[in-house]
């Protein structure tokens, strides 16, 4: 998915937002990231992580593209 030139969305997304976008739980996203099956989050502080929006959207696009027709 190519972002629009005037896309003003933040480059990072909270774990809750990533969970909503993928319809998977935050816990499952962490487990999948540890297994190399989902993009790893960026550590923002000792207690805060975020996902790179473009990586999550690319992952979603790949899942959609790989489905059986």
9-18: per-residue pLDDT in tens? 899 999 999 9
Average pLDDT (28-56) is 97
pLDDT given at position 7: 73
Domain boundaries, the chain: 12-65
- pLDDT of residue 2 exceeding 60, the answer is no
Helices 26-34 and 15-22: crossing angle in degrees, nearest 10, is: 90
Q: Mind giving me the DSSP string for 21-66?
A: HHTS-HHHHHHHHHTTSSPPPEEEETTEEEEEHHHHHHHHHHHHHT
The band of 40, judged by pLDDT with boundaries at 50, 70 and 90, is very high
């Amino acid at each position: 998915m190519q972002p629009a030139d005037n896309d003003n969305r933040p480059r990072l997304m909270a774990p809750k937002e990533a969970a909503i976008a993928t319809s998977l739980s935050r816990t499952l996203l962490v487990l999948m990231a540890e297994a190399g099956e989902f993009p790893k989050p960026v550590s923002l502080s000792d207690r805060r992580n975020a996902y790179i929006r473009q990586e999550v959207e690319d992952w979603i696009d790949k899942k959609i593209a790989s489905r059986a027709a």
